[in-house]
């Protein structure tokens, strides 16, 4: 199936917002065998929206739009689409109740513009948006599927995961497609590609290997699609078995799962607890863990020790160590990890200290220098990294590498990961 | 002048890469009075590239493309464009020398595919790419300007800054565009829209108001475009003045800036410090602050107190308070904020405790219940929120509302925000 994404909104065209929705949507559609053949960003103007829909419908079977469904006057999408589909808008009672419930919960009076959130295309299947007031809409017309969603990333994601993808999976036009995914850690993408070069060459035409890399972790996905379901089912099982053997030294686990989820699951099953001491990552590592439901079984909390005073106060880092070695040093990161383990009373602790940038670097310790330590049951391990010059990627890479180090230590110490 | 951006490359359509180039390019083009009317991402396929150029040329005066010029893909894009422009490719001697110099510096053998980087459209002005092997090209044809650039962000930026923008500045542009942005907090988008309804109705046709909402904050942007630069300049200044007066009670500040940046700047200028005590937000609030460069001037750190044990240990929350009221309660959040302020020795502290979900809710305290407290110079203020059922939006909304509460208290207590 061919798909096209239309993002609606002036804020993208003036560069105020980077369109991250489209890449995320494409990632979700690909495993269903749905190829995104074009992404178009158009302004909040009826002619532009209408033309984008017309052109997309000529090229594709599935048209997904995001944005333009907010309550204010700059959102003209619904009226334009009513004209495009040659239909009218009707007020949906269920959506209206949902919007009313949100407003009464927030203790805010409800205005007519809020009520208009409940106006939907007359012939649309309404997609319930638990996360906001603007519903999604699903329309099958002119031998095409059209899906309209709000542009707020969390609302779009909620609708995709709960309403759109399940419907697409069941749609009769879908050809059969298999995926087998596994996660590796501690080896770079290009190294992995080199090792898997012969494996890729011998893959049957109907089976495809994809690399999905992210900071020290690489997800590998085998995809098979076609008509001969029985043969393909056997082939992909065989190839996936081969792949697992080839990547065995770096294999974290099977399935489409995050490294932090593996760590939490496996530490949880073993009754192990975790705390953190974050300096330059400033809460981001904790966020990676706590955004996952059930993380409190393993993760107890920790200290964000941005200032040296808090490093001493919360983690008992000696003032002398700070003065002698500086805050970004092996000696300090080890004291941080041990202090967190002791003061927060957990089996494992992660400590991170570094220079995220853009300022604060020196010749000896340039921007991007990060020390990470893991304190475990059998001692501490510390490692120095030198990342790049850009602040947010430095924060992300530090957190991701800390997870890889924790994974390695827990695996080695406890052999709890299969 | 109307412009259109075409990004060429399969990697965008499978979601492996987020297109950050287009937003950056739009930001550079806007101040020149160049209005981006569409952004299209197409695959490395001749028909798709050809069609994208044809459609863009119908709508716009300036067509900028990125991508598709790498050594493995240049066949497709350059051959397609040669056909589109009804011309041929020629090997450019200067580019060939530049590519040779790069390879000899890297001590790598040069292949024929690398030499092909020097093939350019016969009638193009070649744009020198100091940062890589693929040159840019500038073509004026069919009363349109076409600019082709590589897709690697730093190469595209080099070409834009050194070759493309200087040439565009010299082109007499037909229109000038103005933007004026301000940030409001503490009022919903639809309320604001109601209050601004009469203002919107009286706006001149050439001036447009856009709402950019996010969790308790709404950015408002006035845009003017047209020929009569002198009149428009005066008009937008006048309308922006009116707008500021209308939103005065909710005005955070002028410009395209984040609430957390305002808070950090203003607290920093007043010499005030901040710490946090995060339970259900698990580090996310700290991350919002620490992702900003220079945040350490104000933000000292804090505790991530996921477990009750850490609430007591780090913040001195009384075990009795936890037992009597539960961790998600006004009494506990107040002790958390006061404990953070005292133990982390800061002027202000934010505390958040709640049930992010999906589990842990009860009839009395459903999923989405969040207590937030701010401890300041003149005491503590606590507020209860009931958000939705979905974990990550609950975390984001809690953090955003905590920032709004902090902003309000600092503003009230110190009147430091103008």
DSSP class of B45: -
A16·B221 Cβ contact <8 A: yes
The pTM (predicted TM-score) of the whole model is 0.80
Supply the pLDDT for residue A33.
Answer: 82
Cα B318 to chain centroid, rounded: 42
A290·B305 Cβ contact <8 A: no
Helix (H, G, I), strand (E, B) or coil at B291: coil
Residue of B99, B151, B168 whose CA lies nearest to B130: B99
CB pairs under 8 A between A and B: 267
Cβ–Cβ under 8 Å, residues B381 and B372: no
B22·A41 Cβ contact <8 A: yes
**Strand locations in B150-255, DSSP E?**
176-185, 207-214, 217-226, 251-254
**How many residues are recorded in chain A?**
418
Chain B: residue nearest A13 by CA?
Answer: B36
Which residue in A12, A114, A210, A304 has the most chain B C-beta atoms within 10 A of its own C-beta, making it the best mutation to test that interface? A304
Residue of B103, B75, B410 whose CA lies nearest to B262: B410
CA angle B321, B408, B277 (to 5 degrees): 35
Chain B residues whose beta carbon lies within 8 Å of the beta carbon of residue A17: 23, 212
Share of chain A above pLDDT 90, in %: 68
Helix (H) or strand (E) holding A41: strand A35-42
Contacts of B134 (CB under 8 A, 6+ apart): B69, B70, B71, B74, B117, B150, B155
Q: How far is A21 from chain B (nearest CA, A)?
A: 9
B16·A282 Cβ contact <8 A: no
B26·A43 Cβ contact <8 A: no
Cβ–Cβ under 8 Å, residues A381 and A338: no
CA atoms within 13 A on the CB side of B93: 0
Which domains does chain A carry?
2-170 (3.40.980.10), 177-254 (3.30.70.2860), 260-414 (3.90.950.20)
Cα B32 to chain centroid, rounded: 20
DSSP class of B309: H
B12·A39 Cβ contact <8 A: yes
d(CA B352, CA B256): 28
Supply the pLDDT for residue B173.
Answer: 55
Q: How far is A290 from chain B (nearest CA, A)?
A: 5
Q: How far is B221 from chain A (nearest CA, A)?
A: 10
φ and ψ at A212, to 5 degrees? -120, 90
Q: Which member of A158, A303, A344 has the closest CB to residue B301?
A: A303
What are A123-153's pLDDT values in tens digits? 999 999 999 899 999 999 989 999 999 998 9
Regions in chain A scoring below 50 on pLDDT: 416-418
CA atoms within 13 A on the CB side of B355: 20
Regions in chain B scoring below 70 on pLDDT: 71-75, 172-175, 415-418
List, in sequence order, every residue forming a beta bridge with B64; answer none if it has no partner: B5, B147
Supply the pLDDT for residue A223.
Answer: 85
Helix (H, G, I), strand (E, B) or coil at A210: strand
What are A370-411's pLDDT values in tens digits? 999 999 999 999 999 998 878 888 999 899 999 999 999 998
Supply the pLDDT for residue A73.
Answer: 58
Q: Which member of B40, B287, B314 has the closest CB to residue A40?
A: B40
Chain A residues whose beta carbon lies within 8 Å of the beta carbon of residue B306: 290, 295-296, 299-301
CA atoms within 13 A on the CB side of B329: 15
Chain B residues whose beta carbon lies within 8 Å of the beta carbon of residue A390: none
Residue of B172, B173, B177, B174 whose CA lies nearest to B225: B177
Chain A residues whose beta carbon lies within 8 Å of the beta carbon of residue B283: 278, 283-287, 290, 304
DSSP class of A343: H
Pairing of strands A299-305, B299-305: antiparallel
CA dist list (Å): A414 to A32, A184, A247, A404: 38, 19, 21, 15
Q: Which member of B24, B223, B283 has the closest CB to residue A283?
A: B283
């Amino acid at each position: 199936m061919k798909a096209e994404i239309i993002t609606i909104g002036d804020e993208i065209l003036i560069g105020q917002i980077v369109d991250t929705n489209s890449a995320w949507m494409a990632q979700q559609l690909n495993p269903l065998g749905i190829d995104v053949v074009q992404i178009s960003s158009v302004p909040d103007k009826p002619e532009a929206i209408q033309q984008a829909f017309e052109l997309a419908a000529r090229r594709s079977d599935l048209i997904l739009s995001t944005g333009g469904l907010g309550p204010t006057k700059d959102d003209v999408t619904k009226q334009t689409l009513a004209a495009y589909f040659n239909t009218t808008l009707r007020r949906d009672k269920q959506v209206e109740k949902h919007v009313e419930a949100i407003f009464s919960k927030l203790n805010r009076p409800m205005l007519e513009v809020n009520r208009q959130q409940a106006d939907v295309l007359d012939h649309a299947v309404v997609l319930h948006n638990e996360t906001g007031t603007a519903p999604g809409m699903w329309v099958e017309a002119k031998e095409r599927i059209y899906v309209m969603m709000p542009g707020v990333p969390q609302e779009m994601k909620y609708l995709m995961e709960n309403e759109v993808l399940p419907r697409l999976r069941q749609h009769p036009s879908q050809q059969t497609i298999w995926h087998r995914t596994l996660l590796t850690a501690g080896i770079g993408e290009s190294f992995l590609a080199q090792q898997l070069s012969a494996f890729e060459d011998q893959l049957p035409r109907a089976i495809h290997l994809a690399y999905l890399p992210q900071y020290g972790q690489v997800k590998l996905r085998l995809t098979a699609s076609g008509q001969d379901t029985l043969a393909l089912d056997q082939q992909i099982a065989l190839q996936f078995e081969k792949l697992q053997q080839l990547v065995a030294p770096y294999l974290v686990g099977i399935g489409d799962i995050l490294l932090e989820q593996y760590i939490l699951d496996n530490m949880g099953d073993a009754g192990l607890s975790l705390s953190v001491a974050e300096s330059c990552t400033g809460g981001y590592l904790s966020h990676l863990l706590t955004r996952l439901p059930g993380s409190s079984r393993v993760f107890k909390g920790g200290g964000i020790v941005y200032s040296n005073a808090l490093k001493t106060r919360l983690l008992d880092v000696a003032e002398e160590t700070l003065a002698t070695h500086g805050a970004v040093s092996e000696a300090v990161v080890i004291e941080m990890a041990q202090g967190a383990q002791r003061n927060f009373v957990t089996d494992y602790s992660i400590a991170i200290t570094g220079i995220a940038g853009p300022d604060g670097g020196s010749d000896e310790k340039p921007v991007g220098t990060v020390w990470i330590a893991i304190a475990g049951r059998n001692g501490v391990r510390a490692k120095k990294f030198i990342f790049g010059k850009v602040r947010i990627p430095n924060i992300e890479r530090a957190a991701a590498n800390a997870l890889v180090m924790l994974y390695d230590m827990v695996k080695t110490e406890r052999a709890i990961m299969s």
